[in-house]
Amino acid sequence: MSERKIINDPVFGFINIPKGLLYNIVCHPLLQRLTRIKQLGLSSAVYPGAQHTRFQHSLGAFYLMSEAISHLTAKGNFIFDSEAEAVQAAILLHDIGHGPFSHVLENTLVTGVSHEEISLMLMERINKDLKGQLNLAIQIFKDEYPKKFLHQLVSGQLDMDRLDYLRRDSFYTGVTEGNIGSARIIKMLDVKDDHLVVESKGIYSIENFLTSRRLMYWQVYLHKTSVASEKMLISTLLRAKELASKGVELFASPALKFFLYHSISKEEFYNDSNCLEYFIQLDDNDIWTALKVWSSHSDIILSTLSRGLINRHLFKVEVTSSPISKERKEELLSRICNQLYINRKEANYFLSISSIENDMYKKEDDSIEIIYNDGSTKDIAEASDMLNISLLSRKVKKYYVCYLRPEEGGH
């Protein structure tokens, strides 16, 4: 019997998965579910290549974790085999609690419970299946393990999650500016006083990483068309939920039906085992199938929104540096009312006003420490000779107005 499985990944090449615990995790139905959830949700409306899944991302993060462990041990940092396996298991499972279009769902169907909390519930569940083999991985994931740097590798400023998704999302979207030198960053990592540090010769790679991250946020994750698609999907699901609460019969898979027809609090999610059961069954397909059927629903709001998402007739978006005026809001609502022959309250489904703030580097979150040959350390913000770092940590706030285009919908 072979000792490992090899997976060919377009970003990193061959990824070795050793037989045993790690291979069992990769084959587990809960991790396989991530093959049916796109990593970038609705971003393919902007970048048609962005079709990669959360499963691919989890494997990539696992690959980088394996690299990080071998580089850190080569520098004399002692990591037991059991710790190495546990931190690899933790990174494989870090996204397991994501639902379809993760943040959309958190705002509509599963409110009050974050995907991190669901990830932990699912880890505990897999741990039961694997008879406690994930105890150490869960401790590291929750930052309850004495070696703190292991948790930083799973969740921190320079964690393997970030290093993979920036590189992978850049590859699949074709936004080359996001292509970070993940291999070089990993080679430069070390540990001092139980904290991850970066060798001083890696400083430019870190500057590049922070700049790329900022570019990827504005060009991909917060791209105005992606924001518009997300707002439309939120409106659609909220409308479906409202119709469901009035007893309107809606087509939906059993899992989606459960979340549409029940309002679930955080407490309920933790106490009613049905919630997690149905959540596990949800993936992107449930949402797309429902949208296709809802496109011809008699409710003009539900059908107009669903058709828009299916046929890519998306909301128009305006991005400004100051909030929208009351008059402009009123004018948009009146136009939508006349266009679709609906009332004011209903018109709100076709208008979304939000602001997005983004700063790339918050020292207080988890600083990136640069270590010099003499053993002294400095925060990257002080160590960098580029002005960019001070700019990167400056908050940028943009206001988004998304609304139904004048020609869409109507009778």
Mean pLDDT of 337-355: 96
Residue 106 inside a domain? The answer is: yes
DSSP code per residue over 230-279: HHHHHHHHHHHHHHHHTT------HHHHHHHH----HHHHHH-HHHHHHH
What's the CA gap between 275 and 110, in Å, rounded?
9
The per-residue pLDDT for range 249-259, each reduced to its tens digit, is: 999 999 999 99
The per-residue pLDDT for range 215-233, each reduced to its tens digit, is: 999 899 999 999 999 999 9
6 - beta bridge partners?
16
Lowest mean pLDDT among 113-117, 372-376, 390-394, 399-403: 390-394
Short-list 219, 228, 224, 227, CA closest to 405: 228
Question: Any idea what the Cα angle at residue 375 is, between residues 372 and 379, rounded to 5°?
Answer: 55
User: Is the pTM value of this prediction over 0.85?
Assistant: yes
Q: Are 153 and 35 a contacting pair, CB within 8 Å? A: no
Residue 287 inside a domain? The answer is: no
What's the CA gap between 114 and 95, in Å, rounded?
11
For residue 38, give the DSSP letter. Answer: B
Residue 370: its H or E element: strand 369-371
Residue type for 404, please? L
Residue 163: its H or E element: helix 160-173
Report whether pLDDT(2) > 80. no
Count of C-beta atoms within a 10 Å radius of residue 358: 14
What's the CA gap between 52 and 318, in Å, rounded?
28
Residue 80 inside a domain? The answer is: yes
Lowest mean pLDDT among 5-9, 212-216, 294-298, 308-312: 212-216
14 - beta bridge partners?
8
Residue 232 inside a domain? The answer is: no
- Residue 214 backbone dihedrals phi, psi, to 5 degrees: -65, -45
Residue 198 inside a domain? The answer is: yes
Q: Return the pLDDT at 107.
A: 82
Q: How far is CA 337 from CA 245, 344, 409, in A?
A: 23, 6, 11
pLDDT band at 388 (very low <50, low <70, confident <90, very high): low
Q: Return the pLDDT at 394.
A: 72
Decide which of 2 and 329 is more confident. Answer: 329
Residue 148 inside a domain? The answer is: yes
Report whether pLDDT(360) > 80. no
- Sheet of 377-379, strand order: 189-192, 195-199, 369-371, 377-379
Residue type for 307, please? R
Residue 337 inside a domain? The answer is: no
Q: Return the pLDDT at 270.
A: 94
Domain at 26, CATH number: 1.10.3210.10
Q: Are 167 and 208 a contacting pair, CB within 8 Å? A: no
Residue 262 inside a domain? The answer is: no
Q: Return the pLDDT at 361.
A: 65
Report whether pLDDT(385) > 90. no
Domain around 141: 4-223
Count of structural domains within the chain: 1
Report whether pLDDT(1) > 60. no
- Residue 392 backbone dihedrals phi, psi, to 5 degrees: -65, -35
Q: Are 266 and 350 a contacting pair, CB within 8 Å? A: no
Q: How many CA atoms lie within 13 A of 306 on its CB side?
A: 23
